[in-house]
Each structure stands twice: as C-alpha cells, then as structure tokens.
Amino acid sequence: MNTSRRTVMAAGLAAGVAATSVGTAHAAPAHAAPGRTPTKTLFGTLADGTPVHLWAVANGGIRLEVLSYGGLVHRLDVPDRHGHRANIALGFDNLADYVAKSPYFGGLIGRFGNRIGAGKFTLDGHTYQLPLNDGVNSLHGGTKGFDKQMWHVEPFAGRSGTGLVLSRISPDGEMGYPGTLKVQVTYTLTARGEWRIDYSATTDRATVVNLTSHTYFNLAGEGSGPVYDHTLELAAARYTPVDAGLIPTGELARVSGTPLDFRRTKPIGRDIRTSHQQLLYAKGFDHNWVLDKGRTSHPEYALTLAEPRSGRVMKMYTTEPGMQFYSGNFLDGTLVGTSGHIYRQGDALCLESQHFPDSPNHPEFPSTVLRPGQTYRTSTVHAFSTR
Ligand code: BGC
C-alpha cells in the first residue's frame, strides 16, 4: 500500500469514529462532514410538482451525491494520489436533463438490468410482454424503469459506515412485470474508502429481478476525455456472446484469443478497434463477462480499474455472477455533462454487476426468478485507493 492510500484510510478511520448517531437530515449542514449523517437539499422539481432532493454522503475520503429521482448517483468525488478529489461519475447539472435525455447516468436499474429479448418472457406458463425501448427489445426495466422513479430515502450513520437506504414499492404489473415488488437499496460509504451497494427485494407473485447500478466512471474525472488509457483486469475466462441486437446467444464463450480477454490487466483502448464481430455489434465493449467466482453469498473479487495519471484505482467485489462492461459506445457528443463538457464516445465506462442479460429466456443461465417467501439479495463493493 502506498502513502496516499494510507492517508485516505487514516482520514476515513478518524471520520468513522464520529459516525455513531443518526440525526435529522434537515438539521445537518449543507455539505456532509466525513462520516456524519448525510445531508439533504432540494435539487429540482418534476413537471408534476414533485420535489427531488439531493443527498450528500461523505466518509473514508469519498463523497457521494444521490438524487431521490432514480436513486441515481449524481456525483462521486474520489481523491487522486495527491489527495485531490474529482467527480468520477458522469451526470448533468440539472434535473430536466436527467428526466429528458439521460442514458441511465448513475441510475438504479430495475426491475431488470440489460436486455430482455423481444421484451417477452414466460414464467410458470404465463407469457409477459414488456415495453420495448431498445429496438425490438426491452432494456433496463422498460420505458419508465427504477432509474426514472421516485425513491424514499432514509439517511443513516453508524459503525458500518454512513449512507442512504432507498426504498420503493413497485406495483404489480409495473412495466409489464408481475408481482408487487418491495425493493430496498442501501448505499454505504465505509471508513475504508468503499462504496457498497446492498440490494434486496421481495414479491407477492413469482417474478424476475436483476438490479444493478449504471454509474458511468471516468477515473480521471468526468468530462476529461476518453477512458482508453484506463487499465482493466476482469477475473472472467468467459463471456456471453450476443447477436446484432445485443441479445445473448446462450453460449458461454472463452475470452482467450479475443479482444474481450482482460484476465491480464490491459488498457481499455488496446483492442477496442479490433474488427471482431462482437465489437462490431456493440461498437466496442458492451458485453456480460461470466465472473470466474460465480454467484457467491459474499462479495468476491471481480475486477480492477485503474487510471495512470491520477493514480485512482477502483476494485469491484460482488455476489453477482456477471459483469456488464460497457465502454460508453453510444455517447455521441450531444450531451453536456455536470461540469459543462460535451460527452463523446468512450468518455466513460460502466461496470454493472448483474445476472446475465435475457436470463428469463435462458434456463441454462443462473436464475433470476424470485418467488413469494424468498428474499432477493445481492451486494457490490467499489473499493477506492490510489497507486
Ligand atoms: C447497455 C448498453 C446501453 C447502455 C445504455 C448498458 O448497460 O449494455 O447497450 O446502450 O446501457 O446507456
């Protein structure tokens, strides 16, 4: 561990000591002190008059800002090797853009991360039709998924860290999915400089669930240009190849000998222009890697993302069996981000821990079915450090 990593951890530990009580959000100062109860400010108002709040959480040297609209990550401020913090998450500086044109920036994705082929699946003999919002397929929970819904937010600060509990009840039939789904998502910043997400859900009818987070990362800072020199190591020997509509064929193919081989760390840009059919379909990387560790009861190592100039490193650990690595292929210079810069292709990447896309139509994939009496539980940890 180098000096700056030690510094971050020491600051976090000191902050953690103070983080023992839960106060009222309204009484807290505008910007959360490290390890203190998260603070709440008004961010904007939806067309129907609903106020949208911005919650700020700080601990372990990291600062996270989340909106009650979409449970979305608006900012994520992380120190570089010199201790200078930068916002490493793409977003907008206003609510209207999040509502009208966001490609899921920071969004809490549900009920189903990634695509369901033809927006259709059959469960217990009944076929469900979902709204189609990606050509002939359904993407990220449909036209008004969890990333476009209001969330109830409760702050907490305690020994495990400081953070937010987001919850909502998704009514039976919402976006075509069966069952009343009670969802709870906890964002925790720990004193060790980790951002942890714990998802849980229960249903009153058999359904399918696959929740994830759609943060667009640029470890050099949002709006600073392409991420091609970020290095990535992904602990996955296989991936799920897709067809032209980015729907898995059902095969678990080996990454060996393909541009999708990230088992040894390499810059994201090294093979991104290889004329491999999978990269042509996706205009770059936009695939689900089958994590070697499989589905686990506790978060286990999945990947390391690093940015050489800032020295920022993000490791991810998850209980999930899959990881969608999307290299920002569809950013096209039409969106103006949080700091006023235009976002172009490759200016960020998403790393979405998940079950495999289109699982409801692939009985051979790990199941995404949730039945009454069961509790859906998954966790993902983003651990920040510098080198
Ligand atoms: C998908 C991409 C999609 C993007 C939307 C990713 O999770 O894999 O295909 O374009 O989300 O921003």
Residue 9's pLDDT band (cuts 50, 70, 90):
very low
Higher pLDDT, 111 or 160: 111
The pLDDT of residue 199: 98
- pLDDT tens digits, one per residue of 34-85: 458 999 999 999 999 999 999 999 999 999 999 999 999 999 999 999 999 9
Helix, strand, or coil (residue 97) = helix
Nearest CA owner, ligand 1 atom 12: 103
Mean pLDDT of 207-226: 98
The reported pTM is 0.91
- Evaluate whether 164 touches 57 at the Cβ level (below 8 Å): yes
Tell me which H or E stretch contains 3.
helix 3-18
365: which residues sit within 8 A by CB, 6+ positions away? 240, 248, 250, 355, 356, 358, 359
> HSE on the CB side for 312, CA within 13 Å?
28
β-strand pairing of 181-189 with 194-203:
antiparallel
Average pLDDT value for the chain: 92
Mean pLDDT of 165-184: 98
- Rounded to whole angstroms, the Cα distance separating 56 from 39 reads 5
Mean pLDDT of 296-315: 98
The per-residue DSSP string of 268-334 comes to: TTSSTT---HHHHHHTS-EEEEE-TT-S-SS-EEEEEEE-TTT-EEEEEEESSSEEEEE--TT--S-
The finding on whether 286 has its CB within 6 A of some atom of ligand 1 is yes
Closest C-alpha to 308, from 219, 225, 195: 219
Six-digit token string for 215: 């943060």
95: which residues sit within 8 A by CB, 6+ positions away? 43, 44, 45, 46, 52, 67, 69
Helix, strand, or coil (residue 152) = strand
The pLDDT of residue 112: 98
Q: Which of 18-27, 89-98, 277-286 has the lowest mean pLDDT?
A: 18-27
Q: Which of 98, 140, 213 most suits a substitution to test ligand 1, by most atoms within 8 Å of the C-beta?
A: 140
- pLDDT tens digits, one per residue of 353-375: 999 999 999 999 999 999 999 99
* Domains of the chain and any CATH numbers: 3-386 (2.70.98.10)
The finding on whether 330 has its CB within 6 A of some atom of ligand 1 is yes
- Evaluate whether 189 touches 163 at the Cβ level (below 8 Å): yes
Report DSSP state, residue 13: H
The pLDDT of residue 35: 58
Mean pLDDT of 148-155: 98
The per-residue DSSP string of 112-128 comes to: BSSEEGGGEEEETTEEE
Residue with tokens 């998502």: 185
Dihedrals phi, psi of 17, to nearest 5 degrees:
-60, -35
Expressed in angstroms and rounded, the spacing between residue 114 Cα and the centre of ligand 1 is 7
Left, alpha or beta for 269 (phi > 0: left; psi -120 to 50: alpha)? alpha
Nearest CA owner, ligand 1 atom 4: 103
Expressed in angstroms and rounded, the spacing between residue 286 Cα and the centre of ligand 1 is 7
Q: Does residue 32 carry a pLDDT above 90? A: no
The pLDDT of residue 89: 99
- Rounded to whole angstroms, the Cα distance separating 107 from 216 reads 9
- Evaluate whether 9 touches 26 at the Cβ level (below 8 Å): no
- Dihedral sign of CA atoms 220, 221, 222, 224 in order: negative
- Rounded to whole angstroms, the Cα distance separating 261 from 265 reads 9
- Rounded to whole angstroms, the Cα distance separating 272 from 259 reads 7
The pLDDT of residue 166: 98
Expressed in angstroms and rounded, the spacing between residue 203 Cα and the centre of ligand 1 is 26
Q: Which ligand 1 atom is nearest residue 214's CA?
A: 7
Expressed in angstroms and rounded, the spacing between residue 108 Cα and the centre of ligand 1 is 13
- Rounded to whole angstroms, the Cα distance separating 83 from 97 reads 31
The pLDDT of residue 159: 87
Q: Which ligand 1 atom is nearest residue 352's CA?
A: 7
The pLDDT of residue 1: 33
